[in-house]
Amino acid sequence: MSQLNHNDLILFQGDSITDAGRSREQLSDMGKGYALMAAAQLAAQYPEIKLRFLNRGISGNRVKDLLSRWEKDCIELKPTWLSLMIGINDCWRRFDKNEPTSTEEFENGYRSLLTMTKKKTSAKIILCEPFALPHPEDRKKWREDLDPKIDAVRRLAREFGAYLVPFDGIFAQAACRVECDYWAGDGVHPSMAGHSLMAHHWLQCFKQAIKTQAS
């Protein structure tokens, strides 16, 4: 028996990868990416439960941006499940605008988000690794900044008893089958296939999580 209840709210939060072009005028719009794909499959699989879904990803966001809007865009929404993917812009801004975010600052800010969520909601939490593929060539340099941040997300998942979707490893594995730009043309923003890959693995994690909750 799955641990899902009538009108449960699943909230997707993050940056442009989660945003995926969602409408700001239609607050129920899920964008055009993995959040929409995952939500559509769950809605079809559990029609009698009438799950609710919201996407509050905002393109360009870093951890500090989430902190500034967390009360309004998470806490007040009272999610049953929170899916959070953040971190690639905390890395990217070091390389394109010389605005670095240290791993310590990233981890401390991320921990504040999770602490607030645990304190003020009863949401179950899914953390999604940020990722980058080695295409174009300059993305390879990013690993020195990104890898410690991915390790921080993993530590926080353990610390807060969250579920983890290891997207960085998933995309690395996928890139062994076909060239990187098939999955993400700039190494970061997924193609249609990339978003579908994300939705598939996110759903695997979510379904395992609800089984764990039910046991």
Q: Which residues are catalytic?
A: 16, 186, 189
Distance between CA atoms of 189 and 202, rounded to whole angstroms?
A: 16
Cβ contact 23:29 at 8 Å: yes
Q: Which residues lie closer than 8 Å to 174 by C-beta, 6 or more apart?
A: 183, 197
Which helix or strand (DSSP H or E) is residue 163 part of?
A: strand 163-165
Cα–chain center distance at 198 = 10
Distance between CA atoms of 92 and 7, rounded to whole angstroms?
A: 37
